Structure 1
Amino acid sequence: MTIPTDEALLEQIDAFLNATGMSPTRLGLDATGEGGLIKSIRDGRSITLRTGRRLVEFMDAYAAGEEASPEKSAPESPSIAKVA
């Protein structure tokens, strides 16, 4: 496994966002549970290898048409009962 540079990761993120039309906020939320993650990376934030791996794994799975598995997905927010 090759660890991407910050610049390479941002290029991969931007290519994914352009290809899918997904918003940066949605990507951050779906991949890590952190909506402001992509903006903060663009602003120079250094992320952990674990967070980078979660982003890359999410983008790869999404591109392959797979749904994120529960152990990889972000924690769910408290459920709200639906009214029929």
Structure 2
Amino acid sequence: MQTPLEKSLLAEVEAFLERTEVAPSRLGLDALNDGAVVSQLRAGTRSLSLKNADRLLAYMRDYRAPSEKG
């Protein structure tokens, strides 16, 4: 069972993935060096430490699509 914080984090991840069309495994690899993290969060088999949740949120906040990098 997911905590409210985990549900909120997953909702932000899902919104990011939909908005950017980044693959879930790419997000995990780029943000946390773990290509399975999103699928594990979705399945409820993984919880993130506050440090890793912060890293994931910071990556999504600072993300620039390849065409935006200039």
TM-score by length of 1: 0.68
Q: What percentage of aligned pairs have identical amino acids?
A: 39
Q: Secondary structure in 2 aligned to 1:35?
A: coil
Count of residues paired in the alignment: 62
1:1-84 superposed matches below 5 A: 5-44=5-44, 45-62=46-63
Q: Which has the larger radius of gyration?
A: 1
Q: Secondary structure in 1 aligned to 2:63?
A: helix
| The structure with more helix, counted as a fraction of residues | 2
Measured in 2, the distance between the counterparts of 1:42 and 1:10 equals 7
1:31-81 CA deviation, whole Å, 9 max, x = no partner?
Answer: 010000001111111111111001000000005x67xxxxxxxxxxxxxxx
Structure 1 counterpart of 2:50, one-letter code = L
Q: Which runs of 5+ in 2 are unaligned?
A: none
Q: Which runs of 5+ in 1 are unaligned?
A: 67-84
Measured in 2, the distance between the counterparts of 1:58 and 1:46 equals 18
**RMSD, aligned CA:** 1.7
Shift in Å, 1:25: 0.1
